[in-house]
Amino acid sequence: MSDAIARGGVPPTAKQFLGHPRGLFMLFFAEMWERFSYYGMRAILIFYLTKHFLFDENPAYAVYGAYTSMVYITPVLGGYLADKYLGARKAVLTGGVLIAIGHLLIALVEGPTGEQGFYLNGFYAGLAFIIVGTGFLKANISVLVGQLYPRDDTRRDGAFSIFYMGINLGAFSGPLLVGYLGERVGWSWGFGAAGIGMLLGLVVFVLFRRELHGAGEPVSPALLTERTPVGLSREWLIYIGSVLMVGVAWLLIRDESVVGTLLLACVGVTFLYIFYRAAFTLPKVERHRIFAALYLIALCPLFWALFEQAGSSLNVFTDRSVDRTLFGWEMPASWFQSVNSFWIITLAPLFGALWTWLGKRGLEPSAPLKFALGFIQIGIGFLVLVAGAGENGALTPAIFVILLYLFHSTAELCFSPVGLSSMTRLSTASMVGLMMGTWFLSTAAGNFLAARIAQATGGEGVGPERVLEVYQTIGWWIIGIGIVAIPVSWLVTKLMHLDTIGRDEVGHGLAGEAELAEPAAAGTRPAGEMRN
């Protein structure tokens, strides 16, 4: 077992930068380039469907929703395979290779405007590679961040805020470059730039992987190299299976209803499995923490269903109904996808410092309370846009879209990095990849719901007034839900047992689950789950 895994953090002698292990900043840059590719491509995806393949709005929203949902379904499987076999490091590398192939494939099969057939199927194949690759990479790179720190380290939330700033640095620059190339030069230029961004992320990860100090290694290398009945090692069987999954994703991407059914089944089975393990194989305190994590996960779909209007209905509204002229030059609509990331980059260090400052004084809001505050802020953002929208067909001033993104960004800082940190903090070591994958599974549900909301804003003959009507309704509803979630957060915080979380470690390392288990629970634990 690696030193990083055994201790619950990198060795004390590991070199630091700005008070954090240097591995954090390697992961920062690797994820920055991956997010450059993802958000750059996402900024032009809906325009590529409507302006190049000439899709109507609702079918385009359906494809967009199926894609973004599946991107967040596959991390459940990727997290499980990393926990049991590959380890987070190999999983991240595998995912990066598949994502790069997907972006470059889309760039190579653009075809003439309006012509579908072979070119549309090639586009779907590229999306399928990205879907499966993200399944391996997305959950596990966050796991690597968590493994750099002991569970009771007060730097964890700050570290995830720094990591989240790297995510948003890529998300800020991606739409600017990929969006401009795609909208103004050529679609293949934009998608090609996204693929090159992913390749740069792989280079950073490979060259500086030593800074992880053993974090993310396979739990059992012997199990990974063991031959299976088909004559291949488990590792190669996983790689071949991932290519077959690309084919499955290629079939599913065009049918939103099938994706929705699959998503519902995945959510149900995964939640039941986690509940079973928590209720029957974990000691009381760890069980309570898993239940608290499941509460946070359950809030995810609602938050992301509203937040993810950015890439679909809000993107189209910005293109058609917002005054984008600056000094006589009209900005590409895709550039507004960078506004959220600008606010995150600007505010993330302030939020990270604020949480640390409050934490040292015992005043930091709990994760459930931060979630409730995030709901209220995202609702305010929608209402600000509605209040400033142009009337009688007039274009909406761009400042109101920018203000919407400001409130949505502060909401995101109360939600996403806090959620990532909570999954690694509240999970047992044997379930951390699965829990992180489930976090992204709930995000998938949010993206699926986001597509349904976007479809409610569009359609033939529907103007911007319909978009504003929907935004006003969901704005008031989410504020009400946030207010109700405030008192609930106090109850959930008790389940987190924050006052004893540091004592769950032996010395500086994680205690084995057997040492923490109640006698009855220890007797029912399956073999192989004792290791932390």
Q: What is the mean pLDDT of residues 339-350?
A: 87
- The pLDDT of residue 460: 60
Residue 62 covered by a domain: yes
User: Is the confidence at residue 482, as pLDDT, over 90?
Assistant: yes
- The pLDDT of residue 497: 79
- The pLDDT of residue 75: 80
- The pLDDT of residue 525: 27
CA distance 470 to 397: 19
Q: Identify the CATH number of the domain in which residue 261 sits.
A: 1.20.1250.20
Instruction: Give the position of tokens 């967040």.
Output: 72
Model confidence at 509, pLDDT cuts 50, 70, 90, reads: very low
User: Is the confidence at residue 451, as pLDDT, over 70?
Assistant: yes
Residue 390 covered by a domain: yes
| SS3 state at 287 | helix
Percent of the chain with pLDDT over 90: 35
Domain count, the chain: 1
Name the nearest CA neighbour of 492 among 293, 299, 298, 292.
Answer: 292
Model confidence at 402, pLDDT cuts 50, 70, 90, reads: very high
> For residue 319, what are the domain limits?
3-10+17-523
Name the nearest CA neighbour of 80 among 259, 268, 219.
Answer: 219
The predicted-structure confidence for 8-25, as pLDDT tens digits, reads as follows 566 666 667 677 788 888
CA distances from 244 to 72, 74, 241 (A): 18, 13, 5
- The pLDDT of residue 44: 92
Instruction: Give the position of tokens 């569970």.
Output: 151
H/E run at residue 330: strand 329-330
Percent of the chain with pLDDT over 70: 89
Residue 431 covered by a domain: yes
Residue 355 covered by a domain: yes
Residue 530 covered by a domain: no
User: Is the confidence at residue 2, as pLDDT, over 50?
Assistant: no
DSSP states of 249-266 as a string?
HHHHTT-HHHHHHHHHHH
Residue 532 covered by a domain: no
User: Is the confidence at residue 512, as pLDDT, over 50?
Assistant: no
CA distance 518 to 525: 11
Q: What is the pTM of this model?
A: 0.80
Q: Name residues whose C-beta falls within 8 Å of residue 450's C-beta, 6 or more positions apart in sequence.
A: 65, 68, 304, 305, 306, 307, 308, 309, 312
- The pLDDT of residue 17: 66
3-state secondary structure 456-483: HHCCCCCCHHHHHHHHHHHHHHHHHHHH
Residue 531 covered by a domain: no
Least confident of 193-202, 208-217, 273-282, 466-475: 208-217
Burial of 388 (0-12, 13-18, 19+ CB in 10 A): middle
User: Is the confidence at residue 353, as pLDDT, over 60?
Assistant: yes
How far, rounded to the nearest angstrom, does the alpha carbon of residue 1 sit from its chain's CA centroid? 28
| Higher pLDDT among residues 458 and 30, named by residue | 30
Q: How many Cβ atoms sit within 10 Å of the Cβ of residue 280? A: 13
- The pLDDT of residue 453: 92
CA distance 169 to 422: 22
Model confidence at 233, pLDDT cuts 50, 70, 90, reads: confident
Question: Which residues are 329's β-sheet partners?
Answer: 326
User: Is the confidence at residue 526, as pLDDT, over 50?
Assistant: no
CA distance 394 to 389: 8
Residue 155 covered by a domain: yes
- The pLDDT of residue 517: 32
Q: Name residues whose C-beta falls within 8 Å of residue 331's C-beta, 6 or more positions apart in sequence.
A: 324, 325
- The pLDDT of residue 531: 26
Q: Name residues whose C-beta falls within 8 Å of residue 42's C-beta, 6 or more positions apart in sequence.
A: 68, 175, 311, 337
The predicted-structure confidence for 156-214, as pLDDT tens digits, reads as follows 767 877 887 788 788 899 999 999 999 999 999 999 998 888 888 888 888 887 777 77
User: Is the confidence at residue 462, as pLDDT, over 60?
Assistant: yes
| Higher pLDDT among residues 288 and 428, named by residue | 288
The strand ranges marked E within 84-124 are: none
